[in-house]
Structure 1
Amino acid sequence: MSPRDQLKGLIRFGPVTFHAALGRGGVTTFKREGDGGTPRAAMAVLSGFRRGGMLTPDRSGLPLQRVGSRDGWCDAPGHASYNRHVRLPFPASYETLLRGDVLYDFGFVLDWNIRSRRRGMGSAIFLHVAKPGFPPTQGCIALKRRDMLRLMPLLRRGMIVHVE
């Protein structure tokens, strides 16, 4: 986290440091669904995804699932598929993984409330591409596209992302 801006952080990977956009709710110890906070936690990289049909090679350290118009992520705490990848159309609240902007061109699913899931504790904490202008996220960690492309070959399943 940056001492000058609570909504920006630094990602360090060995000797390389990247600027990151954090959630609009800042970093929080008590994460709740919809609070816009980035959880203060050590989160493992579980999997990755990319926009289907892109020509940019992913060069990722782990396989990336191609997402399309039928891919979503359930954010409805009362549903059995809460904080899980779902196929659309879907009967409960969800986030679309195929977006009209650049955010999910490349994304990595972090283990926040997934392996040990509790309703209402927050869903869909991803490491993804930042919007132009670097505004805060809805709780995720976002990097400039060029920084994401630089970091992706180094990411592996199980690597830990620390938010402090």
Structure 2
Amino acid sequence: FRGDHFAGGRRTRLPMAPIGPDLGWCEVPDDRNYNRPVKIPYGASHERMKRDDRLYDVCLVLDWNIAPRLRGRGSAIFFHLARPGFTPTQGCVAVTARTMARLLPLLSDRTVVKVVR
């Protein structure tokens, strides 16, 4: 979470870590750190987690392709803040900051998020 933008990130039972300028997420299936957090600068293609658009002021990693990580099955699905107007994500789940602040105290590591079409 970005404590400088979203103080509500501290009000949860989930383990949370601050998002700093050197946090990235590896997107390259052939890299040994595929679908894991990495420290920037990083040699392989990665997504920067500290964003100017504030979508990742709170960003939870759902358990899609985390354990075990299978190459080519897709990178992480994040649960993060929505863009204005709820424009589409890149395969993630997004809610308003207000909704996120209401949900965080209710979530735990046993919470099941079911994504349906």
Q: Any residues of structure 2 matched to 1:1-164 within 5 Å, and which?
A: 50-54=1-5, 56-58=7-9, 59-164=11-116
TM-score, length of structure 1 as denominator length: 0.67
Once the two structures are overlaid, the 10-residue window that deviates more, 61-70 or 86-95, is 61-70
CA 1:55–1:124 in structure 2 vs 1: closer, same or farther (change >3 Å)? closer
- Over the aligned positions, Cα root-mean-square deviation in angstroms equals 1.2
Instruction: Give me the whole-angstrom Cα distance separating, in 2, the residues matched to 1:63 and 1:148.
Output: 15
Write the letter of the residue equivalent to 2:2. Answer: R
Instruction: Give me the whole-angstrom Cα distance separating, in 1, the residues matched to 2:34 and 2:81.
Output: 23
Instruction: Give me the whole-angstrom Cα distance separating, in 1, the residues matched to 2:68 and 2:110.
Output: 15
**SS at the partner of 1:51?**
coil
Instruction: Give me the whole-angstrom Cα distance separating, in 2, the residues matched to 1:91 and 1:160.
Output: 34
- Following superposition, which runs of at least 4 residues in structure 1 exceed 6 angstroms of deviation? none
Instruction: Give me the whole-angstrom Cα distance separating, in 1, the residues matched to 2:89 and 2:5.
Output: 23
Write the letter of the residue equivalent to 1:51. Answer: R
Instruction: Give me the whole-angstrom Cα distance separating, in 2, the residues matched to 1:55 and 1:82.
Output: 28
Counting matched residue pairs gives 115
The Cα of 1:55 is off from its aligned counterpart by 5.9
Write the letter of the residue equivalent to 1:67. Answer: I
Instruction: Give me the whole-angstrom Cα distance separating, in 2, the residues matched to 1:93 and 1:144.
Output: 28
Q: Which structure ranks higher in relative contact order (CA pairs < 8 Å, sequence separation ≥ 6)?
A: 1
CA contact (8 A) 2:6 2:57 kept: no
Instruction: Give me the whole-angstrom Cα distance separating, in 2, the residues matched to 1:159 and 1:97.
Output: 23
CA contact (8 A) 2:8 2:101 kept: no
The answer for unaligned runs of 5 or more in structure 1 is: 1-49
Instruction: Give me the whole-angstrom Cα distance separating, in 1, the residues matched to 2:99 and 2:8.
Output: 15
User: Which structure carries more strand by proportion?
Assistant: 1
User: Which structure carries more helix by proportion?
Assistant: 2
TM-score, length of structure 2 as denominator length: 0.92
